[in-house]
Amino acid sequence: MPHAPLDLARVRRQFPGLESDWTLLDNAGGSQVARAVSDRLTDYLLHTNVQLGASYEPSEIAGTRVRAGVEAMADWMGTDDPAEVVLGPSTSMLLRNLAASFGQTLAPGDEVIVTDCDHEANIGPWADLERFGVVVRTWRLDESTWSLRVQDLEPLLSPRTKLVAFTHASNLVGTIHPVREIVDRIHAAGAKVCVDGVAFAPHRQLAVRDWDVDAYVVSLYKVYAPHCAALYVKRDLLESLPRLNHYFLSKEIPYKLQPGSVNYEMAYALTGLWDYVDAVRGGDAEGADGTARSTSTRREQLADFFGAVAEHEESLAEVLLERLRGLGTVRLVGLSSSDREHRVPTLSFFIPGRHSAEIVRALDDERIGIRYGDFYARRLTDRLGITESGGVVRVSAVHYNTAEEMGRAADEIVRALA
């Protein structure tokens, strides 16, 4: 459906970090924080920084604020049950905790499947279950399509497969995978699914319930918020998992997977994501009577926002890809098309015979922030034989970037390759 285009000037005013003279195109490593989010975080620390759970009024207000943050994230991820949302310091920690709990339900000879293109956060914790006799199989990325193909997964599935962990969109390759199709096939085999949505979430609306995933993780510091993360776990799975928290919290969800509770101010700050969407799409977070919008209205609002984001980001990707496609020396790691149905604007490439650091450092001198490396997708860069030469050069845009910024980066990359 058509969407009104983003008002880039309005968008960029919401991000104080964009006021410098740097062009920031390392967003897959961490986005700028929206002013509305940082305002909420600061307000919590200055006015309600007390312990939760007490009967005195400031504590009750603080508890209401933290719950509002969890509810805001549940809406953002696409579930109407806030108890299915586990908050934590990072996706690496959340997935490590999930694997530690889920692993207790497995027996020697049970199988899990991982990919060779995920961030290590969604491979290592599952692969480490080998020490307990679990069999780990690898679903390999198809280099001809730069995707994980269902037909390559089929021979790996067996009656002993208990879980498949894969990425919605690789933080290095950028291809968007058809999650619902893959999930349906895995569930038909009797296994659970854990999806890494870190590189997808900044660019598209999340719909964990519609996708029927069992677990889905996002890094919120890449979605315009502070350095924290969220893990969705389907209620029936969450209730069945062994606790990692105190013994008397064995039935409390999500606390059983949330040892030490949450960071209060960061949780409340997540309500600011909705303030940000309201600010850039001209909405009103509250009705005339001061009550919050309904969940359905919120998701309609988010669909409109991310529809406009996808259209804009496709045009950003095309600016750089058009130049790279014409350079015979460049090897793209990912699709050469900018089609928003198939990729996010995380663009990676390397130059055979040259170290990727050469290109990035040339852009450093021009105050353009990009990056080189394996981006914790080390198994993929090893497979491609490029780890020792610096991995890939990665240019990662988000919706607050402009065509002019991408054009300038493209010009400097071409100049560095000359």
pLDDT digits (tens, 9 = 90+) for 325-377: 989 899 999 999 999 999 999 999 999 999 999 999 999 999 999 999 999 99
**What's the confidence (pLDDT) of residue 293?**
53
Distance from C-alpha of 182 to C-alpha of 203, rounded to nearest angstrom: 20
Give percent above pLDDT 70 in the chain.
Answer: 96
- Average pLDDT on 79-102 reads 97
pLDDT band at 295 (very low <50, low <70, confident <90, very high): low
Burial 339-362 (b: 16+ CB within 10 A, else e): ebebbbbbbbbbbeeebbbebbee
Contact 112, 137 (CB under 8 A): yes
Question: Which residue type is seen at 247?
Answer: Y
Whether the bond into 242 is cis, omega within 30 of 0: no
Most distant CA atoms of the chain, gap in Å: 68
pLDDT band at 288 (very low <50, low <70, confident <90, very high): very low
pLDDT > 80? residue 174: yes
Question: pTM value?
Answer: 0.95
pLDDT > 50? residue 287: no
**What's the confidence (pLDDT) of residue 296?**
61
**What's the confidence (pLDDT) of residue 294?**
56
Whole-number average pLDDT of the chain:
95
Of 122-136, 270-284, 292-306, 380-394, which gets the smallest average pLDDT? 292-306
Q: What share of the chain is helix, strand, coil (3-state, %, to 5)?
A: 45, 15, 40
pLDDT band at 261 (very low <50, low <70, confident <90, very high): confident
The CA R_g of the chain, rounded to the nearest whole Å, is 22
**What's the confidence (pLDDT) of residue 16?**
97
Higher pLDDT, 205 or 261: 205
Strand partners, 287: none
Number of Cβ atoms within 10 Å of the Cβ of 384: 18
Q: Could you read off the pLDDT of 297-326 as tens digits, one per residue?
A: 888 999 999 999 999 999 999 999 999 998
pLDDT band at 285 (very low <50, low <70, confident <90, very high): very low
Give percent above pLDDT 90 in the chain.
Answer: 92
Residues contacting 49, CB < 8 A, separation 6+: 62, 264, 265
Burial 204-236 (b: 16+ CB within 10 A, else e): bbbbbeebebbbbbbbbbbbbbbebbbbbbbee
Extract the tokens encoding 108: 């020697």
Q: Could you read off the pLDDT of 17-71 as tens digits, one per residue?
A: 999 999 999 999 999 999 999 999 999 999 999 999 999 999 999 999 999 999 9
**What's the confidence (pLDDT) of residue 4?**
86
Structural domains of the chain ordered from first start: 8-32+308-417 (3.90.1150.10), 46-273 (3.40.640.10)
